[in-house]
Amino acid sequence: MKSLVLGAALVLMLVGCGERRETAPTAAPQISPAGDVNAGKALAERSCKSCHGLDGKGAGPAIPHLAAQRERYLVAALREYKEGRRHHSGLRELAKKMTEADIRDIAAYYAAQPAVAAGPGADIKHSSPYEQGKKLSEACTGCHGADGNATETGTPSLAGQQPAYLVAAIHEYHRGDRALGTMQSMLSDSHRLDLENLALYFSVQKPVQRAAPKRGDPKAGEALSTACGGCHGAYGVSRDMQTPSLAGQDFEYLVKATKAYWTIRKNWGMQRYVAGLSEKDVDDLTAYYVLQEPRAAEAMPTPTQELAEKCNRCHDDESNLAMAAPKMRGQDKDYLIMALRNYRDDGDRESSTMHRMSFPYSNAMIESIASWYASQPAK
């Protein structure tokens, strides 16, 4: 019962005890010699049990499970605490007291524990921001149309709109930065996560092409639109999460929204570009954008599983000895959320790989991917 038993029961069943290490590429000198599982157990008993259990199951929310985690990842994580590259103060203190041998022993011990069974709290339905957003959208579709394709004159479509922009727009109504009673009162007490879920839902709906408006000259508008395309995208389909798409939007709404930057709406980029426009220019530009073919903004894979496939390239890869990516299936959900937010928000974890990966994710996305992993049986 050496630490070769990496706890990955499946791998062991298929490959047989010990074979993994024998067949591993020899060019991995940074992999330390195996730790002593019994010494690790004694240390766990003394210093770790109260939080991680003797079985490696986190004792509460946001405490990670260590059972069946990759040994090399546990070693790497403990070294990061020790060297101050991860800043959790309690663990830092603990790890500072540990010798290299202690680290290897404890890693060997926890890696060899059977994986934690997914708890009953793992509710995948609850975890889908898309489904939550869909449910919340019922409060909006009366005015904004089925799936966010508005038919009422003066009411904007939300279908396919950039999600970060939608959230920002709602905040503007809250703050009174935009004039309109109806919208201002609509969402006053929604939780931020709810807004993100709503925005995500609308952003992936298919926007519908509009008929030609009665006013405005789209040809003249096209010529003027060269000043707008740099931000609003070619043909008014924005590629930037903060900048709204204009293609296929309601005519009257767009006219009003553009003119609002002459008065109440504040955005320096916009204010500058619309300041010199005449009433006719606004009609022409709007006519041009209304006629363009709208396309949904959301480039992110919506089904959480598709996103997870991207993550699994590193996180499910048993063969990559150079990179210590942890297993995440069956991990504590709150812990995963916290870790991802830390990477994204430049928090107390430094990992340039993960930082780049998680940078574009909204809270809702993080919640969903964390729930997905937490609900997967660990292996």
Task: Using the minimum distance from each CB to ligand HEC, give the nearer residue, 22 or 138.
Answer: 138
Taking the C-alpha atoms of residue 325 and residue 358, their distance in angstroms, rounded to an integer, is 14
CB of 76 to ligand HEC, least distance (A): 6
Task: Using the minimum distance from each CB to ligand HEC, give the nearer residue, 18 or 305.
Answer: 305
CB of 16 to ligand HEC, least distance (A): 27
The number of angstroms, rounded, from the C-alpha of 144 to the middle of its chain's C-alpha atoms is 26
Task: Using the minimum distance from each CB to ligand HEC, give the nearer residue, 19 or 310.
Answer: 310
CB of 177 to ligand HEC, least distance (A): 8
Measured CA distances, 45 to 40, 41, 52, 95, 110 (Å): 9, 6, 10, 15, 12
Task: Using the minimum distance from each CB to ligand HEC, give the nearer residue, 246 or 296.
Answer: 246
Task: Using the minimum distance from each CB to ligand HEC, give the nearer residue, 18 or 121.
Answer: 121
Structure tokens at 12: 């062991």
Structure tokens at 210: 């509009």
Task: Using the minimum distance from each CB to ligand HEC, give the nearer residue, 86 or 174.
Answer: 86
DSSP structural state of residue 236: G
CB of 262 to ligand HEC, least distance (A): 12
CB of 218 to ligand HEC, least distance (A): 13
Maximum Cα–Cα distance across the chain: 81
CB of 94 to ligand HEC, least distance (A): 5
Task: Using the minimum distance from each CB to ligand HEC, give the nearer residue, 4 or 240.
Answer: 240
CB of 136 to ligand HEC, least distance (A): 6
Structure tokens at 104: 């290897």
Taking Cα atoms as reference points, which of 130, 150, 131 lies closest to residue 140?
A: 150
